[in-house]
Structures are given as C-alpha cells and as structure tokens.
Structure 1
Amino acid sequence: MDLKDCSLLLSLYEEKNLRKVAEKLYISQPAITYRLKQIEDKFQARLVERTNKGVVFTLEGEHVVKFAQTMLNEFSAAKDYVYNMSSEVRGVLRLSVTSNFAQYILPNLLKRFSEQYPNVQIHLKTGKSKNVLQQLKDDDAHLAILRGDYAWLEEKKKIHQERILLISKIPLKMENLPDYPRIFYVTDQLLSQIIDNWWTENYSSPPNNVVEADKVEACRDLARTGMGYTIIPEICLSKSHFDEMFVYPLKSPQEDLTIRNTWLLHKRKSRELSVVDAFIDFIENELKSGEIIRVFNPEEHVELLI
C-alpha cells in the first residue's frame, strides 16, 4: 500500500461517500472501486461496506485506516526533518486555524509571512476550535490557532483579543433587553457559556429569541435588517458595520469588558522544525508591532447608553 492508497483510504473515511472522494482527489469512482479492491486483496479482508447512507468501514478497515494515518504522519515527519537539515527555511507548514480567525485575520498574516519565506508551502485546515485542537493533538498540524481558553499543557501564546458585542439597527435600552427580539448565534460551547454567564449576571428573564443561526455572518446581516439584535464576537465586524449600527460591548455589573482570547498552540518538539520556528518568530514580531494584539478602548466606535 503506497501513500496514494493511504490518502484514498483517509479521504474515504472522512467523506463516507465515493462521489465526494472522486471529486476531491480528481479520479473516477470506478478507479476508486478498483483501487479499494486491490487494497482489500493485499490485506485479504473486507475493509468497507456500501450502504444507503454511504460507505461504512469494517473493523478490519478501521485498523487499516489507522495504519494509513501512521504512514502519512511518518512520511510527513521524515520530509520535515530532511527539509530542516537545510540552512534555508523551506518545506511544508501545517496550520489548523479556527474558521473566523482564518477568514478575517489570517489572510494578511499569511501574505506577509509568505513574502518573508517564499519557499515555505502552507497547508491550511480550518474549522471549529475543538476540532482544530484535536488536529494538533493528532499531529495533523504543526501549529493551531484557536479562539477560547481551552486546556493545553504544552506551548501557547495569546495572539489576539476581542470584545463580545451586542449589535442592533436601532438604539436599545439595556435594562429592557429581554423584551427585544434576539437573533441567537448558535456557536461553540465556550463562547455560548461566556454569553450565557453574562446574561444571567444581568437579567432574571430569558431572552426573546426569534431566529437561531449557526453562522456569525447570518446573525450579523439579519441584525442589519432591523429584525432584532444579536450578540457576536468583534472579529466579524468591519468599520462600516460600526458606522451603520448601534454597538454595545458586553460588560459585567462591575463594568469589566467581556473579552475572548485567541491562542497560538504548538507542541514543544515541533519548534525543532525551521518552518515552525520561523512562523512563531514571525508571530512574535507581529505582536511587537501591534499588528495582531488588540488594545481595547471602550469608547472606540461604540454607542454608549446614557
């Protein structure tokens, strides 16, 4: 079984669908079926079963998938080591980044990094913070950038802070907030807990949820129509949003801002790789220049209640 076979098995295990794997790997479904049959012949075992819901791996197939993942990880590690032997910073940098950070902040960062290190190839995966953390634990990524204060026993650095904001097309009286229609942002558990804690600290009545949406952009744009207010992270608001809407930062009864942190995480051993070391140094220089870290001013672009 070669590396292409390993990639095929892992893609099929992830997608559970022959058509999606064919589109992803740019090969035909009959070619996938033929290659699977050859792999099964080598192991003399049935690895997958086809059902109405897609492809299901057998117990033998689950074991072979783990073997395939190990092969790919060992190949990547060997390639990283060989590249690292050169005095030049080159090779593959595997990043796993939470989706909103990847959309709103990461593009300019990676552009500047690539200008400094043109021989570094970046493999980027995005997703929810808990999945990003798992990819780092599984060695599918050299570095992870995630939002929220997740437990991590190895190296971590705070690289960004943002306020949690309530936005509305019309001015609101905060003491009457439970009476206003709310566009509820269905988000990850940590952020949900932050918002829920703020609500229970300030109100005894539940919110009046009229819409639920799992995309922050949908919540933001619905609020722009005047359908209701929403509570979302600052990262997804541009200056134009601040200019056209009323924005209230969430505060505790003691007037402390509600802040969400973003962290850069990595394993200690990964710093031995020149591409990882270069990226961490790059981020540290960005922090010193003030390009990433946010210095908060409660008056900035914020409509405050009288």
Structure 2
Amino acid sequence: MDERDWTVLQTLYKEKNITNAAHALYISQPALTNRLKAMEKQFGVRIVNRGRRGIQFTPQGEYLVKSAQEMLWHIQKIKETVLNMEDKHSGILRLGVSTFFTDYKLPGLLKLFKAQYPEIEFKVTTGLSSQITHLMHNQEVHISFVKGDHRWNDQKKLLFEESICIASKEAIDIRRLPTLPRIDYQTDSLLKNDVDNWWAENYSQPPLVSINVDKADTCKKMVANGLGYAIMPTMILNDLDNIHRIEIKTKKGEKIIRKTWMFYHKQSLELNIVKAFVEFVDGIDLQSIS
C-alpha cells in the first residue's frame, strides 16, 4: 500500500460511489476498480460490497479507511520533517480558515507572505469556525483562523475584535425590529447563540425572517439592496457606504464582541514554514489588509 492507495480508500469512503470517486481522483473508473481489487488481493479480504445504491464498506474496509487517515497523516509528517531538515523555507503550509477571513483577509495576507517566502505553497481549507477548529484539533492543518471563542488549549493569538450590529439600508426604529423583514445567513453556532440571547432579552416575539442565505457576503448584498436588515459583525460592512449600523448591547450596556483568533500547536513551530508564518502574522497589521 502506498500513499495513493490510502488516498483512494479515503476518497471512495467519502463518495460511496466508484464513478464519483474516480472523478475526484482524476483517474478512470476501470483504473480505480483495478486498484481496489489489488488492495483486496494484498490483504486477502473484501473491502467493499457493491449494490444498486452504490458501495458499502465491509468491517475490514472500515478498519482500512480509519487506518488510511492515520497513514496519510504520518506520511505528511515525514515529508515535512525531511524538508525541515534542509533548514529552508519550502513546503506546503496547511491553513484552516473561517469563511469571513477567507473572503476579506486571506488573499492579501498570502500575497504579502508569498512575496517574502516564494517557495512556500499553501493548502487552504475553508468553512465555519467550528469546523476549522475541529481540523485543528485533529492536526489536519498547521494554522487556523477562526472567529469566536472556540475551545483551544494550545497556542493562540488574538488578531482583532469587532462589535455586532444591526445593519440596514434605511434608518430603523430598533423597537419595531420584530415587525421588520430580517435577512439571516449561515453562521457559526457561537455567534448565532449570542444574537439569539440578545433577541430573547429584548423582544417577546420571534424575528420576521424573510430571507435565508448561505453566506454573510450574500446577506450583506441583500441588505445593501434594501431587502431587509441583518445582524452581523461590523467588519463585514467596512466596504459599504450609506449603511445604517446600530451596535447591539447586553442589558448591562456592554457591546457584544466577536473575536478573531489564530490557533496553532506549539510543537508545530519546529517546522520552519509554520514558524515563519506565525512570526509574519505577528509583525503585520491585519486590520489594514483588504
């Protein structure tokens, strides 16, 4: 079994379909089938059973898939260690990045870093902050950028803070909020809980949600076109003029704050590329990057 075989198992388990897995791996369906048969012959067991609804992994296949994740992780570690022994800044830096940071900060940050370290490449995984934190705990990424106070007991750096506000095209009376059309978007559970708790403190009836979208950027465009109000972090709105903002506060008069963090493992600083990136982020003003 080589690295490619372990990757084949992982992909096949994810897709549950030979055709889709072959497409994801950029190989032909017959080539994938032959590779699977070779693995079954090597171990002397059936790895999958085929049916009308796709494929099902046998207990032996399930065990091999679990082993695939561990084997690929070890192979990646070996590659990184070998490159690190050359005392050069080269290799692949694996980043996990929240959706907001991807859209508004990451391109400019990577451009600046790449100018200083041209031999370092990037593998970027994006998603909700809770998903990225999970990747970090599993050591699937070297460094992550997340929004909100997610549980993390290793190294972290606070990058910036922003308040949460009610954003609307026209000025609105906050007392009438439950009767006005609201635009919601898919966000992390921590922010959703903060907003829901604030609402429960101030109103006795649920919000009038007229539009649900998947991303904050889409929500922002809806607000800019006067289709309703939204409750979102202020930095998302920085590139919009003529948007009315009302910061939401607790009953004690405190602003509700959303923090953005950089997480990493202390041990990973032994890798030149990770240490270089962490030190680079420490030395720049992320607020000024757009």
Q: Same fold (TM over 0.5)?
A: yes
Q: Deviations over 1:16-52 (max 9, x none)?
A: 3333332322111221122111111212222223445
Aligned partners of 1:92 and 1:121 also within 8 Å:
yes
1:237 is aligned with what amino acid?
L
1:278-304 per-position Cα deviation (integer Å, ceiling 9, x unaligned) = 111011001xxx33389xxxxxxxxxx
**Correspondence for 2:271 among 270, 273, 279:** 273
Matched, 1:291 2:286: yes
Change (3 A) 1:225 1:19: farther
SS of the equivalent of 1:244 reads: coil
Alignment of 1:97-112 (within 5 A): 97-112=97-112
Tell me which of 256, 259, 263 is aligned to 1:258.
256
- Distance apart, 1:53 and its partner CA: 4.7
AA aligned to 1:181 is P
Distance 2:7 2:78 in 1: 17
Offset at residue 145 of structure 1 (A): 1.4
Aligned to 1:96, what secondary structure does the other structure show? strand
**243, 246, 266: which is aligned to 2:244?**
246
Q: How big is the shift at 1:238?
A: 4.1
Partners of 1:221 and 1:32 in 2: how far apart? 44
TM-score scaled to structure 1, two decimals? 0.87
Deviation at residue 124 of structure 1 after TM alignment? 1.2
Amino acid at match of 1:273: L
Aligned mates of 1:183, 1:52 — CA distance in 2: 42
Q: Give 5+ residue unaligned stretches, structure 1.
A: 295-306
Aligned residue pairs, count: 289
Residues 110-130 of structure 1: per-residue CA shift (max 9 Å, x gap): 111111111112111111222
Consecutive aligned runs of 4 or more in structure 1 exceeding 4 Å deviation = none
CA contact (8 A) 1:161 1:293 kept: no
Does the C-alpha gap of structure 1 residues 165 and 23 become closer, same or farther in structure 2, counting only changes over 3 Å?
Answer: farther
- State which drifts further: 44-53 or 269-278: 44-53
Kindly provide the amino acid, as one letter, of the partner of residue 21 in structure 1. A
Q: Which residue of 2 aligns with 1:213?
A: 213
- Between the aligned residues of both structures, percent identity stands at 39
Q: Distance in 2 between matches of 1:197 and 1:212?
A: 19
Alignment correspondent of 1:299? none
Find the counterpart in structure 2 of residue 163 from structure 1: 163
CA distance in 1, matches of 2:18, 2:272: 38
Matches within 5 A, 1:21-100: 21-100=21-100
Any conservation in 2 of the 1:93–1:123 contact (CA below 8 Å)?
A: yes
Structure 1 vs Structure 2 CA RMSD? 2.0
Alpha-carbon offset, residue 196 of structure 1: 0.9
Q: Which residue of 1 aligns with 2:230?
A: 230
* Runs of 5+ consecutive residues of structure 2 not aligned to the other structure: none
Give the whole-Å Cα distance in 2 for the aligned partners of 1:30 and 1:232: 49
Distance in 1 between residues matched to 2:255 and 2:138, nearest whole Å: 35
Q: Is the 8 A contact 1:147 1:260 kept in 2?
A: yes
The equivalent of 1:174 in structure 2 is 174
For the residues of structure 2 that align with 1:161 and 1:28, how far apart are their CA atoms?
49
Give the partner amino acid of 2:262: L
Q: Does the CA contact (< 8 Å) of 2:89 and 2:272 recur in 1? A: yes
Q: Aligned partners of 2:266 and 2:51: how far apart in 1?
A: 43
Q: Please report the TM-score for the alignment, with normalisation by the length of structure 2.
A: 0.92
Q: SS at 2:89's partner residue?
A: coil
In 2, Cα distance between equivalents of 1:206 and 1:254: 22
The residue identity in structure 1 corresponding to 2:18 is L
- Relative to structure 1, is the Cα distance of residues 37 and 234 closer, same or farther in structure 2, using a 3 angstrom cutoff? farther
- Equivalents in 1 of 2:21, 2:176: separation in Å? 52
